[in-house]
Amino acid sequence: MEQSRNMVGTGKQKVLGFTVVAALGGLLFGFDTVVISGTTGALKEFFDLSEGWKGFTVAIALLGCMAGSILVSRPADIWGRRNTLIAMAVLFAVSALGSGLAWSLHSLWVFRIIGGIAVGGASVLSPMYIAEISPAKLRGRLVGWQQFNVCLGICLAYISNYLVAKCPLFADAIDVLMAQWRWMFIMETFPAVAFFLLLFKLPYSPRWLVEKHRVYQARHVLVQLNTEDVNGVLDEIVDSLRDSADVVHEKFWKKKYSIPIIGAVALAAFNQFSGINALLYYAPDVFGMSGSDGDTALLQSIPIGIMLVVSTFLGLCLIDKLGRKFLLIAGSLGMAASLAMVALSFYSMTEQNDIGKKVMWYFIAYILFFGPSTGAVVWVFISEIFPNKVRAKGQALGSFTVWLTAAIVSQSFPVAVAAKSIGPGHCFMFFAVCMVAQALFVWLVLPETKGVSLEQMQKKLGID
């Protein structure tokens, strides 16, 4: 009995170790998408950008995210989740170095698109891989490590940007190789190389191995993970794939998949219409609008990143206890209230009224509700709602929707807040209304996925 408990403990440790490595894709995802927030002022001056072109320069990486999230599903089915993640690690490193050494605006755009492809790919592959190696009772918190690492990457990007900005070596060097904005991009190279090397320690996904008819190897991985009832789990996986001899060519747009498709698309869109990337990508700009000076605005971004990490960790602790629906509904209502207070603060702002500190605290409250709800749940839900036969395609659709709406928000936000007829008040009130809509959608439409195995979920939804 004692030996059995030790084996289970060892299995959990192995799953956690593999999860941490795979979730480093999330860390790079967060770092890569947000690092540009510290460079927007310098890029605007260096390349003489208008507000519209500044928004385009920020949003262009998201075009790569959309492409990566869609294109990665086929390689993931053909070459495996792990091998495709290795390719994404290479793209992260290339993008970081290329963006930092960019010799023109167009070259910067190209390298940011390459980074976007890596982000889009990692946003599909990391949670998919983690979901496929995790036991059902731990899957929520383990897949949630992906979002935790996204938030950690965001926090590290803010800290890295601030430290680079304060480093005397780079001070006032905006037009030479040692310029601050260049090193803000280059810093991403270090975690990208570490991610690349660690990925070779991961086993293949047992569900992907079954798809490739390598059942013996799948059994070996399940044994390696000390899975309880290896034969029973293996039989469930085989049974779920029995009707499809070729997963790569399984048709996706079928009526029986309508609930997973609608749920994934809606949650992915709401994730961005929460306003999260309007804040994260433009945090120094938003605090600048509220009256903070340049250095203070950069510094005020750091508590936002720290709260994002803390609140997401809280979500990991609660997601398998309280369930996905409760966290989404409670979090949506809390975000709506916080965003409404931000909007009201901007409505009341005058030239003599510095609302920077007040807005920062409202945003911290917003992040406190975002992390355990939309932040943690969206990637977990998308990774577990689709059947084995179409999981890669479904994950790709959800991620594509995230990046499409992120591109819309990132491109339009700087233009909207600069427009006298809209401004930051109306923008954040719009996001507040969207969060009320999300709470209603989750309550009325979404199924609960807590504690249900990936194979049992498709039976619960009536999918053969």
Q: What is the tens place of the pLDDT at every residue in 42-68?
A: 888 888 888 778 778 877 887 888 888
**Contact, 309 vs 148, CB < 8 A?**
yes
DSSP letter assigned to residue 389: G
Provide the mean pLDDT of the chain.
80
Residues 323, 316: Cα–Cα separation, whole Å: 11
Between 82 and 239, where is the model more confident?
A: 82
Of 83-87, 233-237, 245-249, the poorest mean pLDDT is in: 245-249
**pLDDT on residue 305:** 80
**Contact, 23 vs 380, CB < 8 A?**
no
If phi > 0 it is left, if psi is from -120 to 50 it is alpha, else beta; for residue 463 that is: beta
pLDDT surpassing 80 at residue 399: no
Among 117, 86, 302, which Cα is nearest to 194's? 86
Q: What average pLDDT score do residues 7-30 get?
A: 76
pTM for the complete prediction? Answer: 0.70
Per-residue pLDDT of 245-295, as tens digits, reads 445 555 667 777 778 888 888 888 998 899 888 887 777 777 777 766 656
- pLDDT-based confidence at residue 455 (cuts at 50, 70, 90): low
Cβ neighbourhood burial of 312 (10 Å; 0-12, 13-18, 19+):
buried
> What is the number of H-type helices and E-type strands within the chain?
23, 0
Residues 237, 229: Cα–Cα separation, whole Å: 13
Please, what's the b/e burial string for 369-380 (b: 16 or more CB within 10 A of its CB; e: otherwise)?
A: bbbbbbbbbbbb
- Count, residues in the chain: 464
Residues 388, 225: Cα–Cα separation, whole Å: 19
Domains and CATH numbers, the chain: 2-460 (1.20.1250.20)
Q: H/E element holding 397?
A: helix 391-418
Q: What average pLDDT score do residues 378-384 get?
A: 77
- pLDDT-based confidence at residue 8 (cuts at 50, 70, 90): very low
Please, what's the b/e burial string for 220-232 (b: 16 or more CB within 10 A of its CB; e: otherwise)?
A: bbbebbbbeebee
- How many other C-beta atoms lie within 10 A of the C-beta of residue 175? 9
- Residue entry with tokens 């507040």: 432
- pLDDT-based confidence at residue 89 (cuts at 50, 70, 90): very high
Residues 6+ apart with CB under 8 A from 242: none
